[in-house]
Amino acid sequence: MSNIVFRSLSVDASCSGNPGVMEYRGVYTDTGREVFHIGPFREATNNIGEFLALVHGLALLKQQQSPLPIYSDSVTALAWVRNKKCKTQLPRNEVNRSLFELVERAEKWLRTNTYTTSVLKWDTQQWGEIPADFGRK
């Protein structure tokens, strides 16, 4: 546990089904205090939620000019953010239109902004569940 940067933001998503009902949030790693909570969305995937949570956290930290690093436990979301593209296979439809509007907004933010936030991978195997976890496994 000594390698964890406790003064940080942790993000996570929860999805019941795949696709299914999804929500995401960010919490302070040291206290667990919720900073943001978005959703639920009726038709989404966990990977989309993890991506949106990470971009939301990055935008919030930049807006607040916060030096905090951000943790995600999602290899997929970390890659999508690095590539500035949500590579989901989820088909677009009327039910998930607002979700895809958020995805497009997140991708645009990544393309048009720079940030100095350290993006860190949460080591679930060594540290247990990320503090932003919804506890529904």
pLDDT of residue 2: 66
Q: CA gyration radius for the chain?
A: 14
How far apart are the C-alpha atoms of 90 and 19, rounded to whole Å? 8
- Provide the CATH number for the domain formed by 9-127 in this structure: 3.30.420.10
Q: State the pTM of this model.
A: 0.97
Residue 40: Cβ within 10 Å count? 15
Given a contact cutoff of 8 angstroms between Cβ atoms, the answer to whether 19 and 45 are in contact is: yes
Strands 119-121 and 70-72 come out as parallel
Strands 70-72 and 34-44 come out as unpaired
pLDDT of residue 136: 78
pLDDT of residue 85: 98
Residue ranges covered by each domain of the chain: 9-127
The tens place of each residue's pLDDT in the chain, 137 residues long, gives 569 999 999 999 999 998 999 999 999 999 999 999 999 999 999 999 999 999 999 999 999 999 999 999 999 999 999 999 999 999 999 999 999 999 999 999 999 999 999 999 999 999 999 999 999 76
